[in-house]
């Protein structure tokens, strides 16, 4: 009985937590301001999942729980790749971060762990409610795009590192161009595969999901105590919240890039996917769990430490 009630009301309960967090934030409760990112994003993810389940009768959290949980550490891993790039780009930094190292690193993990769930749950919400249902186009020959995608991916990876002041925006699309040909060639879910069938809806829904999540990231970040601020060349004068207005153009390709990155990672997980009806890759591998554990723990520790040294500019008093 309690499980049925939980499944019926977990969405409204999540919304209540979000609203109470907003009220306490504006009431000036320090603890809420310090942890507001988590208090906003995790309720949002559960509320959106509830909306999807009400519409479709199934959802990522309830019916694909294992894949939802897998998304969390991979979400942290993927975002840390961009934190690593930011050590060279210097496009954002963090202010008024919790001073306790164990709490701070736990906060990093739980905060970055919302990125993929937030993007993909938003995508599933748009898909479930029929947004852009009739978007189609002429089929493309995906293999013909392989060399162009690879070339663009290399350019988008090299130029931001070589000339970060001028080419920093390209980092938000490099992995899409580099990994999509691999995903498509091995039969993994891919946008190239969608385009080959003349289906562009997923692409545009992912772009829209990135824009929606980008707006929410910046909106909720603006009011928080512990937050990020931007130091972006050339476009930093006109802002919406903390983000330079033109910077919002980076969120849609970031969502597409995350989709390609996660599909590539799933090739080494036996072809599993967070998508309910995703095709199984023709070629995939299943690496032992301890390989992923060692990879994650070592990468987390390295990049978390680098963030503390170079990206955090102020800590809250102990």
pLDDT above 80 (res 304)? yes
User: What is the structure's pLDDT at 2?
Assistant: 54
pLDDT band, very low/low/confident/very high, at 277 (cuts 50, 70, 90): confident
SS (H, E, C) the chain: CHHHHHHHHHHHHHHHHHHHHHHHHHCCCHHHHHCHHHHHHHHHHHHHHHHHHHHHCCCHHHHCHHHHHHHHHHHHHHHHHHHHHHHHHCCEEEECECCCHHHHHHHHHHHHCCHHHHHHHHHHHHHHCCCCCCCECCCCCHHHHHHHHHHHHHHHHHHHHHCHHHHHHHHHCHHHHHHHHHHHHCCCCCHHHHHHCCECHHHHHHHHHHHHHHHHHHHHHHHCCCEEEECCCCCCCCEECCEEHHHHHHHHHHHHHHHHHHHHHHCCECCCCCCCCCCCCCCCCECCHHHHHHHHHHHHHHHHHHHHHHHECCECCC
Among residues 135, 265, 153, the alpha carbon closest in space to that of 205 is found at 135
Site of tokens 């995903």 = 183
pLDDT band, very low/low/confident/very high, at 238 (cuts 50, 70, 90): confident
Q: 227: which strand partners?
A: 95
Dmax over CA atoms of the chain, in Å, equals: 60
Give tens-digit pLDDT for 221-234: 999 999 999 988 87
**What integer is the mean pLDDT of 131-143?**
85
Site of tokens 């500019």 = 313
User: What is the structure's pLDDT at 152?
Assistant: 97
**What integer is the mean pLDDT of 296-306?**
98
What token pair was written down for 183?
């995903």
Give tens-digit pLDDT for 249-268: 999 999 999 999 999 999 99
**Phi then psi dihedrals of residue 286, to 5 deg:** -125, 100
User: What does pLDDT average to over the chain?
Assistant: 94
pTM of the model: 0.95
Among residues 168, 71, 79, the alpha carbon closest in space to that of 123 is found at 71
The span from the CA of 111 to the CA of 103, in Å, is 12
Q: 239: which strand partners?
A: 244
User: What is the structure's pLDDT at 236?
Assistant: 63
The span from the CA of 15 to the CA of 244, in Å, is 29
Is the distance from CB of 64 to CB of 274 less than 8 angstroms? yes
**What integer is the mean pLDDT of 144-153?**
96
């Amino acid at each position: 009985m309690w499980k049925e009630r939980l499944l019926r009301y977990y969405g409204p309960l999540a919304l209540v937590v979000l609203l109470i967090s907003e009220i306490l934030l504006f009431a000036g409760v320090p603890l809420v301001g310090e942890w507001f990112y988590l208090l906003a994003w995790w309720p949002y993810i559960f509320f959106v999942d509830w909306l999807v389940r009400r519409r479709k009768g199934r959802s990522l959290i309830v019916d694909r729980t294992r894949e939802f949980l897998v998304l969390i550490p991979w979400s942290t891993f993927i975002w840390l790749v961009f934190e690593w790039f930011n050590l060279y780009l210097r496009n954002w930094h963090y202010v008024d971060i919790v001073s306790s190292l164990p709490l701070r690193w736990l906060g990093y993990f739980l905060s970055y762990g919302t990125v993929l769930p937030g993007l993909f749950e938003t995508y599933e919400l748009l898909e479930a409610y029929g947004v852009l249902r009739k978007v189609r186009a002429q089929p493309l020959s995906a293999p013909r795009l392989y060399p162009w995608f690879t070339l663009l991916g290399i350019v988008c990876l090299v130029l931001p590192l070589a000339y970060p002041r001028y080419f920093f925006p390209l980092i938000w699309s490099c992995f899409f161009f580099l990994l999509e040909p691999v995903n498509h060639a091995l039969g993994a879910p891919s946008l190239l595969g969608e385009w080959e069938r003349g289906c562009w809806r997923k692409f545009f829904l992912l772009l829209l999901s990135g824009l929606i999540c980008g707006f929410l990231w910046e909106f909720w970040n603006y009011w928080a105590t512990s937050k990020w601020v931007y130091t972006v060349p050339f476009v930093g004068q006109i802002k919406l919240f903390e983000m330079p207005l033109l910077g919002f153009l980076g969120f849609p390709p970031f969502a597409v890039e995350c989709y390609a990155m996660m599909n590539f990672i799933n090739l080494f997980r036996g072809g599993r996917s967070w998508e309910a009806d995703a095709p199984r890759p023709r070629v995939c591998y299943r690496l032992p769990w301890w390989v992923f554990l060692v990879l994650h723990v070592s990468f987390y520790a390295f990049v978390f430490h680098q963030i503390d040294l170079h990206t955090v500019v102020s800590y809250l008093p102990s």
